[in-house]
Amino acid sequence: MPIETDAILQYLEEKERKEGALPRPLEFYRNLLQVQSEVERKLVSRLEAGLSRDAINKRIENGTPLISFDELALDWPLLTAAFDEIKGIFANYAELFNSSKRRLAELGADVLLTRSALKRWFTKQKLPSTISIRGMDKKLVNSIIHAAIKPFLISHAKTLRDSIDQERWRRSYCPICGGSPDFAFLDAERGSRWLLCSRCDTEWIFQRLQCPYCNTQDQNDLCYFSDDAGLYRLYICERCKRYIKTVDQRQAENQVILPLERFLTLDMDRQAIEMGYKPHYRVT
Ligand SMILES: [Zn+2]
Ligand SMILES: [Zn+2]
């Protein structure tokens, strides 16, 4: 069951109390979560699952995610206000992204948050060229758009989460929003492998011995490294040269907070990239 945003915030506040201060990446993440949780709160009473059982079953059968861009209920004034706050947070932590505070603070919602730009982001297409005018790193632009739209995706996903028949999906993209996974876990019960959506934090079950990016099942191309405690695994694929970080919940002593794990394992990203592997996103 995905962890709620408020539970992650609580955990981070507790951690800060105990340790005095949070490392900069976690502090950044907490600030983002505060804005996102506020948006989620405003959306909570408005959204309801808009799909019939039949429609859901049909989509799952056909491999069509349950939310298309046009079905995503975006409240533009709320989205724009969230974007402005989020942009400010990215600007305050500009050094984490090798960017400049001024450049980030200058980003305008009127350029980034057009319907066509968001649709392109959602459908994983190249962003319009108007967005890259200031030589801004495209990955960073993608991250900012993502952070602003995330509470809408999460809120919408929550209304549909329970209707996923896990055994009938098992595809390499998110059953709810179509996003790629960026983290995985092996469950505590049977060691089954689950993927975590990079966009809406939905979890879905997937084959242990298959690459979630290029779908190869050739075992000569797939392997993993684990840390000394056996808690983390870095799965790599020689076919597409991508990696996915994985936590083995059978080895965990405490509760694992998956979205937070993305930030607790930044060293694994560094190592994987140094070894020549790429993360899930495609910068186009
Ligand atoms: Zn998703
Ligand atoms: Zn692959």
What tens digit of pLDDT does each residue of 246-257 get? 999 999 998 899
pLDDT at 8: 92
The rounded percent of the chain whose pLDDT value lies above 90 is: 70
Lowest mean pLDDT among 41-50, 73-82, 255-264, 266-275: 41-50
Lowest mean pLDDT among 41-55, 62-76, 160-174, 268-282: 41-55
Nearest to 270 by CA among 234, 226, 238, 229: 234
Looking at all shown ligands, the one closest to residue 124's CA atom is 1
Distance (angstroms) between ligand 2 centre and the Cα of 56 equals 29
Looking at all shown ligands, the one closest to residue 222's CA atom is 2
CATH code, 166-274 = 3.90.1670.10
Distance (angstroms) between ligand 2 centre and the Cα of 276 equals 13
Distance (angstroms) between ligand 2 centre and the Cα of 156 equals 29
Name the DSSP class of 136: -
The residues whose Cβ lies within 5 A of ligand 1, an ion, are 174, 176-177, 179, 197, 199-200, 202
Nearest to 47 by CA among 158, 145, 149, 150: 158
Lowest mean pLDDT among 77-86, 110-119, 231-240: 110-119
Compute the distance between CA of residue 25 and CA of residue 14 in angstroms, rounded to an integer.
Answer: 16
Rounded to two decimals, the pTM is 0.92
Name the DSSP class of 194: E
**H runs (alpha helix) in 49-130:** 53-62, 76-92, 101-105, 109-112, 115-122
Domain boundaries of the chain, sorted by first residue: 5-163, 166-274
Nearest to 232 by CA among 254, 213, 251, 219: 251
Compute the distance between CA of residue 222 and CA of residue 68 in angstroms, rounded to an integer.
Answer: 32
Distance (angstroms) between ligand 2 centre and the Cα of 128 equals 28
Compute the distance between CA of residue 56 and CA of residue 127 in angstroms, rounded to an integer.
Answer: 30
Read off the pLDDT of each residue in 85-91 and give the average, rounded to a whole number.
95
Distance (angstroms) between ligand 2 centre and the Cα of 65 equals 21
pLDDT at 284: 37
Distance (angstroms) between ligand 1 centre and the Cα of 218 equals 26
Task: Please write the tens of the pLDDT for every residue from 35-66.
Answer: 999 999 998 767 666 788 899 999 999 999 99
- Token reading at 280: 């899930």
Distance (angstroms) between ligand 1 centre and the Cα of 82 equals 20
pLDDT at 133 exceeding the cut of 70: no
